[in-house]
Amino acid sequence: YLKISKLALAFAIIHSKPPGKSAKEYAEYLAKTVPEQDFGWKWKAEVLEAEVLRLRQELLLNRISPRFCLENRKQDASAETLLGQESINPTSCSSQLEDSGCDVCNDSAFDSLVIASDFHQSEHINTSKHWLERVPPLDLYHTSKEQSVTAAVHFLQRLLEIRKLSEGEVLQADFSELENDSFTICNSVSQLLDGLTVFYNSPKFPPPSFLTEGVRVLISLITDTKLSNHVLKKCFKKMEEFQKNLIQIILRNKSVNRFQALHSVSETLGLLGRNNILRNSLISLLLSEVRQFAEQLLQAHQVQSLYDINQYENISFLCMILEQLLQNETEESNISISDYGGEEKIKFLKNLDQIILHLSDEFPLFSLYLWRVSVLLNSGQMQ
C-alpha cells in the first residue's frame, strides 16, 4: 500500500508540475511549501485558543463581580477620550497614564505600580487608576509569548484587585466561581508560569517590566489567604513543575556572566517558599538536589575524577535558598522542621557526617553549607 501511494504521488507531481520546472524541482518546492502551510494553521489555532482563554477570563471576572466588569465597560469611553487627548495635551495625558500603573511595558509606570495590598478601601475609587487596564483582544496576526504572559498578568491583577475591593466592602464578589471554572484559572496560571520559565531560560538585563510584574502578581496570588487555596488546589502540580524548572535553570547554567541571572531566579524561588504549601515541596526538591550533588562530588573526589565546576559553583545558590527557608521556618513559626522534607530529609541526613568529613579539606565552602543545613534540620527535630 505504501509503495502504491508513493507511486501515485509521484505521478500526480509529474502530471501537475508547471511548465519550465522539472519533477524534482517541483517536488522540492512542494516539500517546502506544505510544512509552512501546516505551521501557519497551527500558529493560527494557538492564537485563537489564546483569544478564547481571554474571553473566558472576562466571563469569569463578570461572574465573580458583575459590578467590577460593569464599571470597567463604563470606563472604556472615558479611557478612549483620555487616550485621544494625548495628541492635544501629551504631557498631562502621559502623567495620568503612568499613574494608572497599567502599562506593564513602561518602567516608570511599573515602578509606581502597587500590588493589590495597597489598593484604597474607600467607596470612591479613582477610576483612571484602576479601570484602564482592561485587556484588549489579542492581535491575531502579531501575537507573541510576551503578549500571552502580559494577558495572564492582567487577568490575575484584576482578580487580585476584585479580592482587595471586596475585602474593603467596596464590591461584592463570589469567589466560589473559581471552583466552577477551574479550566480558566489553571490555564491562566500555566500561561504565566510557562512564560516566566521561557524568559528565565534566556534572561535579558535589565529584565522586561512585564516579567518582573509577573513574578509580583504570582507571589501576591499564592500569598493571598482567599485566593491561594483556590489556585494551589487546581495548579499545585504546575507550580511544583515550575519550581523544578527554576532549580534546573540554576544548576545547568554555564554562561560566564550568569550570576546576576541566577540571583534573580533564586529570589523567585525564595518568594515561592513563603507559601506554606509550596515550602514543603520546595524544601524536599532542594534537599534532593543538594544530596545528589554531594554524593556525586564525594564519588568523584574518591576516585580523583573530574567534576562539573559550573554545577559546583551553582549549587551554592540552592544551598542558600534551602538555608533561608529553614531559617525562616525556625524564626517565624512554631511548626517543627521535622515535618518538612519527609523522606528526603532522612536521606539527606544519612551519612552526611561522613560526606562532610571527606569533602571538608578539598571543598570547605560546600561542606560548610552542608553542615549549616544539617544543623537547621536537626534543630527543628529537637523542637
pLDDT tens readout for residues 203-262: 877 777 888 889 999 999 998 888 888 888 888 999 999 999 999 999 999 888 888 888
82 pLDDT band, cuts 50/70/90, is very low
Q: Distance between CA 113 and CA 108 in Å, rounded?
A: 9
Render pLDDT for 285-297 as a digit per residue (tens, 0 to 9).
999 999 999 999 9
- Please state, as a whole number, how many other Cβ atoms lie within 10 Å of the Cβ of residue 179: 11
**Overall average pLDDT of the 122-150 stretch:** 49
Is the model's pLDDT at 84 over the cut of 70?
Answer: no
Render pLDDT for 160-204 as a digit per residue (tens, 0 to 9).
999 888 888 777 888 888 888 888 989 999 999 999 998 888 887
Task: State the helix-helix crossing angle for 182-201 and 259-272, rounded to 10 degrees.
Answer: 160
Q: Distance between CA 262 and CA 251 in Å, rounded?
A: 9
pLDDT of residue 298: 93
Q: Distance between CA 122 and CA 120 in Å, rounded?
A: 6
Residues contacting residue 143 through CB under 8 Å, at least 6 positions apart: 47, 50
What DSSP line would sit under 206-247, residue for residue?
SPPHHHHHHHHHHHHHHH-TTTHHHHHHHHHHHHHHHHHHHH
**20: left (phi > 0), else alpha (psi -120 to 50), else beta?**
left
Q: Distance between CA 221 and CA 178 in Å, rounded?
A: 13
Residues contacting residue 167 through CB under 8 Å, at least 6 positions apart: 121, 226
Lowest mean per-residue pLDDT among 86-95, 222-231, 265-274: 86-95
Q: What distance, in Å, lies between the first and last C-alpha atoms of the chain?
A: 73
pLDDT of residue 309: 92
Contact indicator for 108, 97 with CB cutoff of 8 Å: no
pLDDT of residue 375: 92
- Please state, as a whole number, how many other Cβ atoms lie within 10 Å of the Cβ of residue 48: 13
Contact indicator for 169, 122 with CB cutoff of 8 Å: no
Length in residues, the chain: 383
111 pLDDT band, cuts 50/70/90, is very low
What DSSP line would sit under 283-317, residue for residue?
HHHHHHHHHHHHHHHHHHHHTT----HHHHHHHHH
18 pLDDT band, cuts 50/70/90, is confident
Q: Which phi and psi (to 5°) does residue 3 adopt?
A: -65, -40
For cell 509577573, the residue is 214
